[in-house]
Amino acid sequence: MRRSVLFAFITLLSAAPAAAAQCGQDASGFPAWLEAFKGEATSAGISQATVTAAFDGVTYDPKTIGYDRNQKVFKQSFEEFSGRMVNAYRIKKAQAFIAKNQALLARIEERFGVPGPVLTAIWGLETDFGANIGNFQTIRSLATLAYDCRRSDRFHDELINALKILDEGDMPPSALRGAWAGELGQTQFMPSSYIKFAVDFDGDGKRDLLHSVPDVLASTANYLKSYGWVAGQPWDPGTANFAVIKEWNKSDIYARTIALLANRIAGES
């Protein structure tokens, strides 16, 4: 009887999922962590082919940790920040884009309710209209942050979502590049937001937020609509739509700057 119980217990242990990968504080434990994480990824439904391709040659990135440890506290006032960011260059570039792409923006607004000035304001502030999307290897950065103990759980989930993007065929691992914390594309979606809100608006069968402007702007509009954007209504501070802008970025200063830039793009004071 005791032997049967022991055998059943051993069988139960062998059938249980592998223990979660352990986080670390330096590069020494990263290789072992990565091997354990690969198992977690396949258990989460990611194909073995995607896991193999995504982590080929991936190493711990001390540069990513350096950025994470040295983030500057936002100390500028709204007047200082908006005075620098709401400039003639962004206003004129956005207005020129809107003038040349009225049909595209009309289709986006018809489907999602978000007007061109708001979308181009976000686009301009996030990456200067796609000019500065970042060149960090997304999988490497996210793997480093998922292994690091400071915010391991959050980035573990973002890394799984980045693998889902690859698994769904939207792009190969070599194309998955962005900001140091894993933000992707011309309006800087985290992978979890990419999975939830990215849309194929140019009809090529892929959701490409790095290169396709229609996909970028429509996906940004879809994000805002999903948080309750009300079509045809203002977006100034105190309105329901401003509350939606704050779902895009929790910083009141940043949200107010988006609203101000959108107003200036729309030709309002």
How far apart CA 169 and CA 72 sit, in angstroms, is 36
Q: Report the C-alpha gap between 145 and 61 in whole angstroms.
A: 9
- Judge whether 126 counts as a catalytic residue: yes
b/e burial code for range 35-52 (CB count within 10 A of at least 16 → b): ebbbebbeeeebeeebbe
Encoding tokens for residue 234? Answer: 């203002």
Q: Is residue 125 classed as helix, strand or coil in its secondary structure?
A: helix
| CA–CA dist 178, 194 (Å, integer) | 13
Q: Is 233 left (phi over 0), alpha (psi -120 to 50) or beta?
A: beta
Residue 142: count other Cβ atoms within 10 Å of its Cβ: 29
Phi-psi bin for 259: left (phi > 0), alpha (psi -120 to 50), beta?
alpha
Which one from 35, 80, 126, 158 is the annotated catalytic residue?
126
How far, in Å, CA of 164 to CA of 175, rounded? 14
Q: Residue 267 in 3-state DSSP?
A: coil
Residues designated catalytic: 126
